[in-house]
């Protein structure tokens, strides 16, 4: 069973995540807390009703080391948890039962990096990045806007994560920073069965997505410009021709080293911009943002959940009466297709702890609902929206090409490309 998951997991689990050896990021996230946007308080014509945050985990150990090059020592003390990032939490399934099996995490722990740690593990640096993001959210939603209570309350705050240790721990650290460890209750962090996960493109759980996109990973390495640059960089790094590497793998290891102050092969200094560009070129080929169905299957169910949460709040559904904040701890391979579907992907790999925030507002006079989207603290104008404060109807229409109900998603996943 494990070998199956290592094989398919590399292809599906962390939505291209493992497969793409993705989850790489650049430098610690550079979010300016003062740029979370304007108009709060009673001066604003808008009243905040709901906040949803999709955030990437923090800095981590690489998913795989570049072969045949200067080794980095990934030692256990790089993973020590600062005391201020700790909260009392429990990981459950979506209905509150025991935590499901974690085959993706198991696949990471089948290997060990030089230095003795496992691939893909959140580091002390990453923990602090998420704590810092939590503090920025605290400043906006607790201190400035007084939107949230200053103590964690599970009736007010919902936390969901992929069932992978680095995202679970990232959620914990963000909550610690957001509430300064003040909690009236244990923090429940909800996770899903691996085959049903919709917080990343699930190549294992969605047959049609695998059929549509499986070959595009191989194709992306063989695109003429990418292949030529890859041959050159392998030669410059002294990587044997038979070694299977690509720009996403190289970027992952390079950024992880840089973020933790570990030595990098000096030749990468001259190749850095090329590595960044080609990694993004590859991911764009794999995700095919020009193909509606591919993005639908990557993030359609997640976009639908975000929309349903907002509509429930607008309609006063009893299930959402007290809920004010939804936190989703995810991956770069989640954020990129979401940004593509929203029409705001900037052709840059999302850094560690990058976040997409969706705020639902109600106009104080007209009572009309509006959505405001920000990415890494910068407000974004969504194509199809008449303004940064986008009428909910316009926002729903803008997402309609990609949003999928769970039933529609399952129906599509069971089809073949010829259906």
Query: In which element (H, E) is residue 339 found?
Result: helix 332-342
Q: Phi, psi (5° rounding) for residue 156?
A: -100, -30
Q: Is 80 exceeded by the pLDDT of residue 14? A: no
Q: Which CATH superfamily is domain 2-208+289-413 in?
A: Phosphoglycerate mutase-like (3.40.50.1240)
Tell me the percentage of the chain whose pLDDT exceeds 90: 83
Element (H, E) at 158: strand 157-161
**What's the pLDDT at 5?**
37
Domain ranges of the chain: 2-208+289-413
From 62-71, 100-109, 144-153, 394-403, the region with the lowest mean pLDDT? 62-71
The 10s digit of each residue's pLDDT in 164-196 is: 999 999 999 999 999 999 999 999 999 999 999
Give phi and psi for 160, each to the nearest 5.
-130, 145
- Whether residue 102 contacts residue 189, with contact meaning beta carbons closer than 8 Å, is answered with no
pLDDT at residue number 27: 38
**What pLDDT shows up at residue 419?**
52
Question: How far is the C-alpha of 196 from the C-alpha of 126, rounded, in Å?
Answer: 27
- Report pTM: 0.91
Positions annotated as catalytic residues are 57, 332
């Amino acid at each position: 069973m494990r070998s199956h998951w290592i094989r398919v997991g590399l292809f599906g689990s962390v939505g291209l995540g493992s497969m793409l050896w993705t989850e790489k990021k650049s430098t610690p996230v550079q979010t300016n807390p003062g740029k979370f946007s304007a108009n709060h308080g009673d001066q604003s014509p808008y009243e905040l009703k709901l906040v949803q945050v999709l955030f990437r985990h923090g800095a981590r150990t690489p998913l795989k080391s570049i072969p045949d090059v200067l080794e980095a020592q990934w030692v256990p003390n790089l993973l020590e948890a600062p005391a201020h990032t700790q909260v009392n939490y429990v990981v459950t399934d979506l209905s509150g039962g025991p935590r499901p099996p974690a085959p993706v995490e198991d696949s990471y722990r089948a290997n060990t990096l030089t230095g003795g740690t496992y691939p893909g593990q959140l580091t002390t640096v990453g923990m602090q990045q998420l704590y810092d993001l939590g503090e920025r959210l605290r400043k906006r939603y607790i201190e400035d806007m007084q939107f949230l209570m200053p103590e964690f309350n599970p009736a007010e705050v919902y936390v969901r994560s992929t069932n992978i240790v680095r995202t679970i721990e990232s959620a914990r650290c963000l909550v610690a920073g957001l509430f300064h460890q003040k909690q009236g209750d244990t923090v429940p962090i909800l996770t899903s069965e691996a085959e049903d996960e919709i917080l990343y493109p699930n190549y294992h759980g969605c047959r049609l997505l695998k059929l549509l996109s499986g070959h595009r990973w191989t194709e992306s390495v063989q695109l003429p410009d990418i292949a030529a640059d890859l041959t050159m960089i392998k030669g410059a790094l002294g990587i044997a021709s038979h070694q299977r590497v690509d720009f996403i793998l190289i970027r992952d290891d390079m950024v992880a080293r840089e973020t933790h102050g570990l030595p990098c092969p000096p030749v990468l200094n001259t190749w850095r911009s090329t590595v960044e560009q080609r990694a993004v070129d590859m991911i764009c080929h794999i995700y095919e943002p020009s193909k509606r169905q591919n993005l639908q299957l990557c993030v359609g169910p997640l976009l639908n959940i975000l929309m349903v949460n907002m509509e429930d709040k607008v309609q006063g559904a009893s299930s959402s009466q007290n809920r004010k904040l939804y936190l989703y701890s995810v991956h770069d391979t989640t954020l990129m297709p979401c940004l593509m579907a929203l029409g705001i992907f900037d052709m840059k790999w999302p850094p560690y702890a990058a976040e997409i925030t969706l705020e639902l507002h109600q106009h104080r006079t007209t009572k009309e609902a509006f959505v405001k989207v920000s990415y890494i603290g910068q407000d974004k104008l969504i194509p199809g929206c008449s303004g940064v404060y986008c009428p909910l109807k316009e926002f729903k229409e803008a997402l309609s090409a990609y949003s999928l109900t769970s039933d529609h998603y399952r129906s599509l996943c069971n089809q073949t490309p010829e259906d």
